[in-house]
């Protein structure tokens, strides 16, 4: 993520930002001059606004309530975009492609996006895939699960890396880099992620 922040100093949007942790982190280090925190949850945006105010970054970050598949920004109005752990929460491939198309639409030519999703092949999900098989949920439905934590239960489409790359390329992006990463944390919880860094041609 730091690579994206440090690449130029233009406008950056975090789509599905939650409480804007990523933008606040970048703004505190001088990497974000103008950030847009976009989320469908007003509660998350209010928490983010409070955190930005408390850290002295409120003038650098604007908060927008919107669905990531219908972003109220002009075409080619951003230099960079983040879509961190958001895409896998959308119910259908059509919705996931719509979100990626929106990112492409609002980026300027040459604009850069960082996209991350939870990785498919992780031990905590194996039993869920078996249950889907027993219920004859095949094709894309095999990889659609609900996962519950202390924060509640949420829907996930569990991507493979090749599927993520395919969807990114299908929406007009050129892939610059891709791979997987495992942030620090509880080894018994799902932590493996896939990422793609891509450019609007």
Rg (CA), the chain: 17
The answer as to whether 30 is a domain residue is yes
Residue 128 lies in a domain: no
Q: Following DSSP, what letter does each residue of the chain receive, concatenated? A: -HHHHHS-SS-EEEET-TTTHHHHHHHHTT--SSEEEEES-HHHHHHHHHHHHHTT-GGGEEEEE-BTTB--S-TT-EEEEEEES-GGGSSSHHHHHHHHHHHHHHEEEEEEEEEEEEBS--GGGHHHHHHHHHTT--GGGGGEEEEEETTEEEEEE-B-HHHHHHHHHHTTEEEEEEEEE--SS-TTS---EEEEEEEE-
Q: What is the pLDDT of residue 111?
A: 95
pLDDT score recorded for residue 9 = 62
Q: What is the pLDDT of residues 151-181, one digit of tens each?
A: 678 889 999 999 999 999 999 999 999 999 9
pLDDT digits (tens, 9 = 90+) for 47-65: 999 999 999 999 999 999 9
pLDDT of the residue at 8: 62
Total tally of structural domains belonging to the chain = 1
Q: Is the predicted pLDDT of residue 14 greater than 90, yes or no?
A: yes
CA dist 176 and 15 (Å) reads 20
Identify the pLDDT of residue 23: 97
- What is the distance, to the nearest Å, from the Cα of residue 124 to the centroid of all Cα atoms in its chain? 21
Domain that holds residue 15: 2-122+158-200
Q: Residue 57: which residues within 8 A CB-CB, separation 6 or more?
A: 23, 24, 27, 28, 32
Report the C-alpha gap between 83 and 191 in whole angstroms: 17
What is the rounded CA–CA span in Å between residue 132 and residue 126?
10
Query: Do the domain assignments include residue 148?
Result: no
What's the CATH code of the domain at 27?
3.40.50.150
Closest CA to 1 of 100, 79, 61, 80: 80
Please report, rounded to a whole number, the percentage of residues in the chain having pLDDT higher than 90.
Answer: 69
Q: What is the average pLDDT across 171-199?
A: 89
pLDDT band at 134 (very low <50, low <70, confident <90, very high): confident
**Residue 33 belongs to some domain of the structure:** yes
pLDDT of residue 77: 96
pLDDT at 7: 66
> How much is the pLDDT for 12?
96
**Residue 150 within any structural domain of the chain:** no
Q: What's phi and psi for 7, nearest 5 deg?
A: -85, 90
Residue 188 pLDDT: 66
Within-domain flag for 108: yes
Alpha-carbon span 114 to 144, nearest angstrom:
23
In a domain, 85, yes or no: yes
* Residue 139 in domain: no
Tell me what pLDDT residue 119 has: 92
User: To the nearest whole number, what is the mean pLDDT of the chain?
Assistant: 91
- Percent of the chain at pLDDT > 70 equals 95
Chain segment 57-112, per-residue pLDDT in tens: 999 999 999 999 999 999 999 999 999 999 999 989 999 999 999 999 999 999 99
């Amino acid at each position: 993520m730091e690579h994206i922040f440090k690449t130029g100093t233009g406008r950056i949007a975090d789509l599905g930002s939650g409480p804007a942790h990523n933008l606040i982190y970048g703004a505190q280090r001088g990497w974000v001059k103008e950030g847009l925190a976009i989320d469908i949850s007003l509660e998350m945006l209010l928490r983010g606004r409070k955190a930005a105010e408390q850290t002295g970054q409120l003038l650098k970050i604007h908060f927008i309530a919107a669905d990531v598949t219908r972003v109220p920004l002009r075409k080619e109005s951003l230099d960079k975009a983040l879509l961190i752990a958001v895409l896998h929460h959308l119910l259908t491939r059509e919705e996931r492609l719509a979100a990626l198309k929106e990112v492409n639409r609002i980026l300027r030519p040459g604009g850069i996006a960082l996209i991350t999703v939870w990785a498919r092949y992780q031990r905590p999900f194996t039993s869920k895939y078996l249950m889907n098989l027993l219920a004859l949920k095949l094709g894309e439905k095999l990889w659609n699960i609900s996962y519950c934590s202390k924060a509640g239960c949420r829907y996930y489409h569990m991507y493979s890396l090749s599927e993520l790359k395919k969807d990114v390329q299908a929406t007009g992006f050129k892939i610059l880099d891709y791979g997987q990463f495992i942030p620090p944390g509880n080894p018994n919880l799902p932590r493996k992620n896939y990422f793609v860094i891509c450019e609007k041609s």
